[in-house]
Structure 1
Amino acid sequence: MAPDIHKQVAEISALLRQKLGLRARTFQAQVHKARRFLPRALRRDLIYLAQAESLADNPKLQRMIDMPRLDAAHRNALAYLDQIDMKQRRWTAALNVAASIAFGLLLTAILVIVVLVQRGLV
């Protein structure tokens, strides 16, 4: 049972590294870094996976793990992380940067025109 848990955690960890670029020493640290990138329900599932991983090493505590919930959390995380399109994320980020620059230039141009009008130069 414990190797299955470690295998599931390693799979999710690899997807977090690949899809979101989150690198950390432990899975718990990855989950902590991933908080702002993930929906609340998925964060809860990943936190449960991290807790189950820590319990899996102790045979007596291993019985506390709810395997159906663990499997559901693993399935939910896989489903969400598989649908992330890195090409689309990069394109959206580039468009956001371009839009911010264009907005700043527009505001600067408007400010320059207002100042020129107030001084009577235009």
Structure 2
Amino acid sequence: MDLDRTTRDLAERMATQLRVKGTDLTDVVSRAGRKLPRRLRAEATVLIEAQALARNPKLGRRVDQARVLKAERRLRAYLDRLDSGSEKRAEILDRLAAVGFVVLVVAGVLFYVLVQQGAFR
């Protein structure tokens, strides 16, 4: 099992589907933040730690291959279920709601100022 290739593939896929930037799995997981559930962040941490251990010839034997495969399967299953279209729609709706709130606040302040100056008497 080539752990470097596996983590690189997962990082690319996560970066694409979660729409975050990063070159390796560590960057992508740290930038994903709340887009990646806590239990899957722990699975990604298992892969990151295994990759670090595998770089050292003596410590590479300590890597739990079964645990690494399980973590990889869980991350891939999550990415398969993920619908990036709904994420984009939700982000657009969030931005529209924020803009609408700002417009509403500005209109309220403007109305208050006009009432204080006696524009509606």
Normalising TM by the smaller chain, what interval?
Answer: 0.7 to 0.9
TM-score by length of 1: 0.82
Listed as ranges, the gaps of 5+ residues in structure 1 are none
1:37 to 35, 55, 58: 35
2:20 matched to 1:22?
Answer: yes
Moved more, 108-117 or 16-25: 16-25
> Which residue number in structure 1 is paired with residue 67 of structure 2?
69
The DSSP-based 3-state class of the residue aligned with 1:34 is helix
CA-CA distance at 1:79 after TM superposition: 1.7
Listed as ranges, the gaps of 5+ residues in structure 2 are none
Larger relative contact order (CA 8 Å, sep ≥ 6): 1
2:96 matched to 1:98?
Answer: yes
The DSSP-based 3-state class of the residue aligned with 1:98 is helix
| AA partner of residue 117 (structure 1) | V
CA-based RMSD of the aligned residues comes to 1.9
TM-score by length of 2: 0.83
